[in-house]
Amino acid sequence: MAEFSIIDTYFNRKNQDSVDLGVGDDSALLTPPPHQQLVICADTLVAGRHFPLDTNPHAIGWKSVAVNLSDIAAMGATPHSILLALSLPQIDHAWLKGFSQGLYDCCDQFGVRLIGGDTTQSPHLTLSVTALGWVDTGLAVPRSGAQIGDLICVSGTVGDAAFGLKHLGHDLQKRLDYPTPRCVLGAALKGLANSMIDVSDGLAQDLGHILKASNVGAKLQLENLPLSTALHALNDEQKWQYALAGGDDYELCFTISPQNYEKLLQKQLDDSISIIGTIQQQRGLTFEKDGVDHLLQFNGYQHFA
């Protein structure tokens, strides 16, 4: 089967609204909405590095989209479309069917279109997705805006995906295979949050990126970390390791003034939000539990370890 036959069979949907020209040409064409900025991100998943080799192809398709939509959400933007670059060791129709269905299931749930990309042969299964979104001009939420006195918040629960990776077959493996990008929450934080990032490489490491970009420090309240039942059953050292260094959760970590936090609550969003600390002037990230300081050091995911 030739490259274009693969594209036509598995990755070509016709009549996509809000796309001037999509799959099948050299490039896609989009018309930007008025008074909007284009938000773009890209992420690559490599078999055996970013997901176990025996991962269900449907889950791989879902995750390849979801991790990129999470980056769009972390800017306060609304996702619009994706490009897919797919490198395959061989043509496996059952795998392609499952993968493309997972990809489209995620796209459909979040109102996203596949508008182009590339396919090629490679010794290693590799998926690179580029996501595009729109945000009102001047309202994107960067990493660099954290203010002293901000509340540090995180959505959902943290540490689940890392636990699922270590305990394949456990219910929490679904959090590893099928992350949920917080697109509605991200868009709701536009104009309210001062800084934001998605938790992909570990909460402590990713929060550290906000602190560095904003030239501030932070104190986290360990007892306030939102944990699932499985993590609550562990001892402190284990649960903190999963929650603060595990990564792959794709929750949103953001800083927000107390006043704007009250405004956020008035939106009555479905996503759970936990206040886990505060931004302070003293540089660095410190940890406290029940009023007692803890000297902890966490290393998140390292892409070249």
Is 13 annotated to bind ligand?
no
Is 200 annotated to bind ligand?
yes
Is 17 annotated to bind ligand?
no
Cβ pair 16, 22 in contact under 8 A? yes
Is 202 annotated to bind ligand?
no
Is 143 annotated to bind ligand?
yes
Is 136 annotated to bind ligand?
no
Is 117 annotated to bind ligand?
yes
Beta bridge partners of 47: 51
Is 301 annotated to bind ligand?
yes
Is 71 annotated to bind ligand?
yes
Cβ pair 67, 180 in contact under 8 A? no
Is 201 annotated to bind ligand?
yes
Is 18 annotated to bind ligand?
no
- What DSSP letter does each residue of the chain carry, written as one string? --HHHHHHHHS-----TT-SB-BTBSS-B--PPTTEEEEEEEEEEEBTTTB-TT--HHHHHHHHHHHHHHHHHTTT-EEEEEEEEEEESS--HHHHHHHHHHHHHHHHHTT-EEEEEEEEE-SS-EEEEEEEEEEETT----STT--TTPEEEEES-SSHHHHHHHTTTSTTHHHHHS----HHHHHHTTTTEEEEEE-SS-HHHHHHHHHHHHT-EEEEEGGG----HHHHTS-HHHHHHHHHH------EEEEE-HHHHHHHHHT--SS-EEEEEEEESS-EEEEEETTEEE--------TT-
Is 236 annotated to bind ligand?
no
Residues annotated in a binding site for substrate: 50, 248, 301
Residues of the binding site? 26, 43, 50, 71, 117-118, 143, 198, 200-201, 248, 301
Known binding-site positions for Mg(2+)? 26, 43, 71, 118, 198, 201
Return binding residues for ATP: 117-118, 143, 200
